[in-house]
Amino acid sequence: MATLRTIRKRIKSAKNIQQITRAMKLVAAAKLKKAQERILSARVYADKIKEVIAELISGIEEKEYPLLCENTEIKKEAFILITSDKGLCGSFNSNLLKEAIYKLRECNDLNLILIGKKGFDYLKKFNKEVEIFKYNDKRIDWYDIEEIGNLVINNYLKKKYKKVNLIYSEFQSSLQQKIKKEVILPIKVEELKQGKIEKRDFLYEPDEKTVLNALLEKYIKTVLLRVILESQASEHGVRMVSMEMATNNAADIIKSLTLLANKTRQAAITKEILEIVGGAEAIKG
């Protein structure tokens, strides 16, 4: 049986852990809020671009726009995986990596584009071609997006990829994480056509095709930015929940350990009393 001292030690370390997890939960909550704000402020730009594309895209010949059609004759696919940089966020990364492995098995000829250190560390051992790797932290900004976006778009236009897949974690609420698989290239016209399609009486300079092409590229980049921001928000949300759970678990452990400590203490006292009584009896006798 454990001595009182070791039990007390364990209680203390459980308390320390509880303190840390509670602090991490609060930090994650604050970061989640910031990440959500970033998503919201990024929406103005993305919505506007989407709106204009929706307007221009009706009644065009899709074949004229290479970003809209699949490069069917090529086998190689590109694959963008967005994970987090840090752990301690429950099954956030392992869920994403599970999907990734599934994809790796399905398709042999892959080019990886990894955002987030966890995914990079894990997929390193598969010896796949890693085209680009980025840390997925709060410093990721438009320059990084531009770099990734230009690389993907250029390679796609050079007919290096059949299509570009994307796996990320969509932000729904902090309680749940939804793994999303999307094809970002070729762009699906149907998705963009939603909403109002009435064409306004506008001058397009130099012409509609150039404007639309430039906007489609920008659209891809705004999609990338959005999914990265969403995955960050999702990461913080999941971390918040799992740290909350860890804090509760620590509380449970502390409770049962305290009970055990009390019992041990009582047993020790009872034992001592019995010994004294026994001793006294012996002297009397």
Q: Is 195 a binder of another protein (CB under 8 A)?
A: no
Asked whether position 199 contacts another protein by CB under 8 A, the answer is no
* Helical (H) or strand (E) element with 130: strand 129-134
- Shortest Å, Cβ 247 to another protein: 33
Task: Give the separation between CA 48 and CA 54, rounded to whole angstroms.
Answer: 10
Q: How far is the CB of 110 from another protein (least distance, A)?
A: 21
The interface region with another protein, picked from 44-52, 75-83, 171-179, 271-279 by CB under 8 A, is 44-52
Token output for 8: 């007390």
Q: Are 237 and 171 in contact (CB under 8 A)?
A: yes
One residue of 141, 191, 252, 272 binding another protein per CB under 8 A: 141
Q: Among residues 49 and 107, whose Cβ is nearest to another protein?
A: 49
Count of beta carbons in the 10 Å neighbourhood of residue 128? 16
Candidate residues 16, 41, 173, 266; the one interacting with another protein per rule CB under 8 A:
41
Q: Closest CB to another protein among 10 and 38?
A: 38
Residue 201 CB, nearest distance to another protein (Å)?
6
Could you give the count of Cα atoms lying within 13 Å of 62 in the half-sphere of its Cβ?
10
For tokens 């236009």, the residue is 157
> 37: which 2 tokens?
């704000």
A 10 A CB-CB count for 9 gives 13
Q: Does 42 bind another protein (CB under 8 A)?
A: yes
166 CB contacts (<8 Å, ≥6 apart)? 79, 80, 82, 180, 181, 182, 183, 184, 227
Verify binding: residue 214, another protein, rule CB under 8 A.
Answer: yes
Residue 65 interacts with another protein (CB under 8 A): yes or no = no
Give the pair of three-digit tokens for residue 160: 């290096």
Residue list 20-39, contact with another protein (CB under 8 A): 38
CA atoms within 13 A on the CB side of 7: 17
Residue 203 lies near another protein (rule: CB under 8 A): yes
Q: Does 205 bind another protein (CB under 8 A)?
A: yes
- Cα(279)–Cα(237) distance, rounded to whole angstroms? 63
- Using the contact rule CB under 8 A, the part of the chain among 61-69, 104-112, 182-190, 208-216 near another protein is 208-216
- 109 makes contact with another protein (CB under 8 A): no
> Can you give the binding site for another protein, defined by CB under 8 A?
38, 41-42, 44-46, 48-49, 52, 133, 135, 141-147, 200-206, 210-211, 214-215, 218, 221-222, 225
